[in-house]
Structure 1
């Protein structure tokens, strides 16, 4: 688990530039067909298009494992984490909803 967190965090540090008038966030996508979770680093400068860079793919298709990864990642970074493809699912430990409503991309 720590290896996955270090890979994701290391790649975030390379991409995070702290540019003026730019929004940054992490997106986690559920891929039920391949049974993987995909992490993306998104950035959007004011008035420009969205840039999305793939960070990592978790082959362990377990919500419990993903919740632990997200908790560790949240300790290391203050970036917002958005979820896609997790509608109507809850975290196994905290029992909170992962995604409140479907995204436009779903």
Structure 2
């Protein structure tokens, strides 16, 4: 599938919805609109924009339906780093001097996989 090079955001679909029931379950179109509105109507800092990914409607604990958010990744090309983010937790690593490691994350009880 050819991607639109002008697309500013991406959710669970690219360009157009091909699997409508999946898009409904994941609220893919609604989340795409939410992101586009934040980018165009709400000038905000990078930190505030990234923080939005850790709250509904972008962050989801719907694991029982198979669509929970495991983590959010924020890529920072200017300093060649990446942050893995969870509500209340952040793990940053630099790609030039990558340090392997592990981090234990506890999800709320209602998010446990069955």
TM-score by length of 2: 0.27
TM-score by length of 1: 0.29
Higher relative contact order (Cα pairs below 8 Å, separated by 6+ residues): 1
Task: Tell me which protein shows more strand as a share of its residues.
Answer: 1
The structure number with the bigger radius of gyration is 2
